[in-house]
Amino acid sequence: MSYLSISAFIICQNEEHYLGHCIESLEGFAEIVIVDSGSTDGTLALIQSYIDKGWPLRLFRETWRGYAGQKQFALEQCTQDWCFNIDSDERLDKALRRLLPELLDAPDEVVGWRVARRPYLVGYGYTSENVRERKNLRLIRRGRGAYDLRQQVHEGIAASGEVRSATTGSLLHFRPLIIDEQILKENKYSTLKADQQIAEGRRPRLSKLIFSPIIYFLRLYFRNGLWRCGVPGFIEAMTGFIYAFLTQAKIAQRAALRARPNHDDYVGR
C-alpha cells in the first residue's frame, strides 16, 4: 500500500465511542500518533486493536498539560514531512482525502494548510458543504509551526511561513450533544477563554458584553450558513451566542469581584 507522508496526531481521553471512525478516516497516512491522558474506558483497548491489525499507530501516555501543551507534545512525536492535527470526534470527508496529495505537493514556501470543518447537528446530521466553520490551520510541515502554550482553549498552531486555505474538503465533527450537555461544554470553554483573556490583560467592556454574542451568532448563522439547516442550525448558532456571552460576562464579574468582593451588608432592625 502507498502511504501519504503525513503524521496525524490526536490527543484523547475516554474517546472509545468516537476514536474508531477517526482512525479509519486516516487510512493511507504513514503514521498516526495518539497521546492519551488517562483514559479509563475502552479507549486504550480500542487503540491496541488497531495496532494489532497493523495500523501505523504510535501510542503515548502523557499527563494532561492543557490543550495547547498536550497537542504540542503530540506534534513533537511526529516523524513525517507533514503533520495533521485531528480530534477524536473528527473525520476526513471524501473530498478532503482526495485533495491531500495536492496539498502535500505544495511549493516549499507553503508551510501549512487551513481546513474547513462541518458539524453534525442533532436532528439534522452533517451540514452540507455550503455550511462550514472558519477554516483553521490543521496541516503543517514538520518543524515549521508550534502551539502557543499560553492558549487555554481554541488553541492553534503558529506557523513560520505562508499558510493557504484548502479549496475543497472538510473535517466532519461528530459529537452530537443535546442542549443539556452542550451548555455544560460552553460553560467550561467560556471559563477557560475568560481566564485566558484576563491573564492577557483584557478588561471588561459593556460594548463587548452586548455585541460580541450578537456578532458571534450572526457569523455562524448567516456567514457560515447555518440558516440552511432549519431549527438545528439555529440552535447551533445560539449556542455560539451563549458561549460568547458567558465569556464576556465572566470577564466582567471577575473584575467586579476584585473591585468589590461580595459582602452581606444587610443590617437588621
Inform me whether the pLDDT recorded for 152 exceeds 90. Answer: no
Inform me whether the pLDDT recorded for 269 exceeds 80. Answer: no
Q: Where are the domains of the chain?
A: 4-173, 179-259
For the entire predicted model, the pTM comes to 0.89
More confident position, 234 or 153: 234
- The pLDDT score that the predictor gives to residue 155 is 81
Inform me whether the pLDDT recorded for 65 exceeds 90. Answer: yes
List the one residue out of 19, 93, 5, 9 whose CA is nearest residue 50: 19
The type of residue at 112 is G
Inform me whether the pLDDT recorded for 2 exceeds 90. Answer: no
pLDDT tens digits for 114-142? 999 999 999 999 999 888 888 999 999 99
- Considering the four listed CATH numbers 1.10.1040.10, 3.90.550.10, 3.20.20.70, 3.40.50.300, the one that applies to the domain covering 4-173 is 3.90.550.10
- The pLDDT score that the predictor gives to residue 268 is 82
pLDDT tens digits for 164-207? 999 999 999 999 999 999 999 999 999 999 999 999 999 999 99
- The pLDDT score that the predictor gives to residue 1 is 59
- The pLDDT score that the predictor gives to residue 153 is 75
